[in-house]
Amino acid sequence: MNALFDELSPHAAGLLRRRARPEWAEPTLATLVHEPFDHPDWLFEPKLDGQRCLIVKHGSRVRILTRNDKSLDETYPEIRAAVAEQVGADCVLDGEAVAFSGNTTSFARLQQRMQLADTAEVRSSDVTVYCYLFDVLHVAGHDTTRVPLRERKKLLARTVEFTDPLRWTPHENRSGQQHHRRACAAGWEGTLAKDATAAYQHGRSRSWMKFKCVSEQELVVGGFTDPTGSRPALGALLVGYHENGRFAYAGKVGTGFTEPTLRELRAELDRLERADSPFAEEVAESGAHWVEPGTVVSIAFTEWTEDGKLRHPTYRGLRRDKDPSAVTRESR
């Protein structure tokens, strides 16, 4: 067997399966939970404020894919080059592309790179991007998804050299509450808890849990209002989410925009305009423009109100890596 597997326990080695490397695999998605906890069988990681990446390496060919199987090859060429140089074995890796603002990851900063696919524009960008890797799904001809997470971490450490822009995702054992308090005090978005004994589960799972320092939610734009005063392009976004076959209204978002962002959003939404409201309930916004619910945005807010609306929402950025039809309200 490949020397990469030498440090695995006999039990973990027995769970390896020789299988063809997949071209893509649905990543694990964490379940939102509100109370951090301590547990000896769980690992605790920082919640990175970036873009989820699945990296597939086959010989000298490296592909970077979003969580919904869209190519990021031209967006993050430095990550592709680093994987080609630092990873010897064919593999499928799970990680997150990030950019920093100060000492914390910033989705707003990363947005300046996420929108680029032109080689010249990418090369001239002043946004430095890193990829934090935290899991391995396949390596050296073997499916590793049945191997417990703690043992997969051993494999990941032996598979990648971890020189910038590739970074190891640090984790703590046992003390999830303390880890979360420190992360929030440092200005991070939140933390993750992962069952160290669990197999890799595709899709939403309770073996991975996320705890947020501030509330954040992906929502879908269903309309917008006209600007007032000196504001350009649009006034506020009217956003919603899918629930039991209906498109529910979550409220109006009117802060967090730059002027270029307002113009970019208006150009995109004008292409999606429709005559009637897509929301299941009546939305009392005079002069609203309605659009097909096809644009996903990230919104920060303080809490949900009793009638299911966002309190103090702020726009954070576009999420082109999210399927609009799969956006639901996150809850316990």
- The 3-state secondary structure of 300-329, one letter per residue: EECEECCCCCEECCEEEEECCCCCHHHCCC
Would you call 220 helix, strand, or coil by DSSP? strand
Smallest Cα–Cα separation from 30: which of 207, 196, 277, 218? Answer: 207
Residue that the structure tokens 């440090």 belong to: 7
Amino acid identity for residue 207 in this structure: S
**DSSP state, 294?**
E
Reading the block at residue 324, the tokens are 């609009």
Catalytically active residues, by annotation: 47
End-to-end CA distance of the chain: 42
What is the signed CA dihedral for 72, 219, 310, 266, rounded to 10 degrees?
90
**DSSP state, 229?**
T
Residue by residue, DSSP assigns 169-185 as: ---EEE-HHHHHHHHHH
**Strands 142-143 and 17-18, sheet pairing:** antiparallel
